[in-house]
Amino acid sequence: MTRIYFSARPEKWLEYQSPLRSALGETGISFHLAPTFDDPEKVDYIVYDPKGPLRDFTPFINAKAVLALWAGVEGIVNNPTLTQPLARMVDSGLSEGMAEWVTGQVLRHHLGLDEHICRTTPEWQPNAPPLARDRKVAILGLGALGQACAKALSDLNFDVSGWSRNPKKLTGIKCYSGDAGLQKALRAAEILVLLLPLTQQTENVLDSKRLAQLPKGAVILNPGRGGLIDDGALLAALDSGQIGHATLDVFRTEPLPTEHPYWAHPKVTVTPHIASETRPESASRMIAENIRRGENGEPFLNLVDRGAGY
């Protein structure tokens, strides 16, 4: 009997228990799935929600893996009590949701929709936008989510480039890496999308120096992590006109405090961390597949590199 501890908030248990049982049932594994266990030593796998109650992994001495429900693992990767293998969530639902949000926001800014939707007085200004092939979009971060967004935008004929820590090759995408590559990506980016993981190396990656490297009036989309941006530097760049607009979905503190200047800034759009959400059905299939792999002695999918931080 494989024992699986679902460590999450009560409302998550209500969302996940049925799809998880269904997905696990398809593996043929005999299992006991529950939100509580009296004896942590008998737990084989932990399904982990970062907002759940679990902080100390020490008692789970026989757990074969911790399977996170989130793609981001910055809140757990440095936990000294976590000695078990850690897998982050990478599933089709996350990728599809992120590609939809990013594509929608890129099209919004590319087409200049705000100028028409937010108009308060009659004004006839037939200023047609360029074609997508003439609009340069750069994506910082070419993991599963970044690749899904790059492909979706490339399929719409946008001129897409991407930057990642390690060299990548993607059909139809100009791929950069390293410091020199980051400068090339930034200097051409009329619309910049941030999809990097948050690590010591990427915190404040968009600081005043790099904001100045973007074309004047560039648009920034951040559905990645709030800590990727130096907030003070961004506000200054918006005020000076160096940055034309910022659409932000993630923040250092969430919910974003009501007094934060982003709320009132005319060149900032705030969305409440909705760019992509873990869907119980697709996430459950990924959890079940990793448990099946663990029970059959196969490598886990999406294991976190503790040194890299993701």
Cβ within 8 Å of residue 199, ≥6 positions away: 74, 308, 309, 310
Strand pairing report for 136-140 and 45-48: unpaired
265 is catalytic: no
Instruction: Give yes or no for a contact between 67 and 291, defined as CB atoms under 8 angstroms apart.
Output: yes
CA Rg value for the chain:
21
Helix (H, G, I), strand (E, B) or coil at 309: coil
Closest CA to 218 of 241, 194, 243: 243
Q: Which two tokens stand for residue 31?
A: 């299992």
3 state DSSP class of 65: strand
* Catalytic residue (one of 252, 260, 265, 273): 273
CA distances, 263 to each of 33, 37, 234, 257, 258 (Å): 42, 43, 14, 9, 7
65 touches 87 (CB < 8 A): yes
Identify whether the C-beta of residue 298 lies closer than 8 Å to the C-beta of residue 87: no
* Annotated catalytic residue within 88, 108, 165, 225: 225
Q: Exposed (0-12), middle (13-18) or buried (19+): which is 203, by Cβ within 10 Å?
A: middle
Classify 261 in phi/psi space as left (phi over 0), alpha (psi -120 to 50) or beta. alpha
Is residue 225 among the annotated active site residues?
A: yes
> What's the DSSP call for residue 291?
H
**C-alpha to C-alpha distance for 276 and 278, rounded to whole angstroms:** 7
Tokens for 251? 């923040």
d(CA 281, CA 23): 8
What positions carry a catalytic annotation? 225, 273
